[in-house]
Amino acid sequence: MSREILDSVWRASGIRLIGDGVPAGDVMAAQASLTHWDKWFPYWTGLGDSYERLAREALARNRRQSAGELFWQACLSHHYAQFLWFHDPARRDLGQMRKVALYREAAPLFAAPAIRFDMPFDGFAIPGYLRLPPGASSRSGRRSTPIASASSAAASAGSTPSIPPPTIRA
């Protein structure tokens, strides 16, 4: 049964990995070496750990943009490790936490840095990232306007929730 699950995942999602930015060579290597579904999570977390090591080496050499891209690849690897890993919620949660932590490390290192913000909504903070073109600044005096959509029920009732501006984190 394990092989059938793996084959089904590749058929349904193999191209998605490449479309999301996983290098095609990584996807092809995974397809060639993975033979059982139970190896999926450790394969992708192992690859993510390798990318993370390379990112830290690049950062130590002050190669910030390379480090950012490598942290991004580590993040993607951990994302796809936990992708569809519903039968082991504790491990899935660990994979999700790793991908979030790795993206937070990658975000300020991109050529167009990703700036973290929280959008308060209905008693919760919805996290997001704002990416501005190189040379632009969120502190330039120009105001960025996040767009949020009210639920269809609130919109059809003619009410729009009050949404305060987001809090930008430095």
* pTM for the predicted model, two decimal places: 0.78
Q: Helices (H) and strands (E) in the chain — how many of each?
A: 6, 3
Where do you find CATH 1.20.1440.110 in the chain?
A: 2-109
- Total residues belonging to the chain: 170
Alpha helices in 61-159 (DSSP H): 64-82, 89-106, 152-156
What is the CATH T-level fold of the domain 2-109, as seen in this structure? de novo design (two linked rop proteins) (1.20.1440)
Amino acid symbol at 54: L
End-to-end alpha carbon distance in the chain: 48
Q: What is the pLDDT along the chain (170 residues), one digit of tens a residue?
A: 688 999 999 999 999 999 999 999 999 999 999 999 999 999 999 999 999 999 999 999 999 999 999 999 999 999 999 999 999 999 999 999 999 999 999 999 999 999 999 999 999 999 999 998 877 765 655 555 555 544 433 444 444 444 455 566 65
